[in-house]
Structure 1
Amino acid sequence: MLTDDELRAVLRAEAAAHQPDRAVILNRVTQTAMRNEAARRRAPRVRIAGAAAAVAAVIGGGGFAQWALAGGTGSSRPEPPPPPSTTTVTTPATPPVTTGASPKPSRTSPSQQPHRSPSAPPSSAPAATSPLWADGSVDVGGKTQASSVVTIRTSESLTALDVTIRLARTAELVSRGGSQQVPGASVNSSVAEEAGALVYHFTLSSGDTIAPGTYTFFARYTYAQGGRDAGADSYAATATSGSGAALKASGAFG
Structure 2
Amino acid sequence: MDDVRKQLRDAAAEHRPDRERMLARVERGRERDAVDFVAARRGRPPRPAPWLRVAGATAAVAGVLALGGYAVASVVQAEEPPPSTVGTPPPAPDSSSAPSPSAPAPDGQNAGPSSPAEHAEGIQDGYLWSDGSVDPQSNDFWAQSTLTFKTGKPLTALTVELRVAQTGGVADTGNWRSLPADDFTVSVGERGGELVYRWTLKAGRSVPAGEHVFAGQYNHAEGGRDAGDDTYAAQATASGQKASVRGDFARTS
* TM-score, structure 2 normalization: 0.47
* TM-score, structure 1 normalization: 0.47
Larger Rg: 1
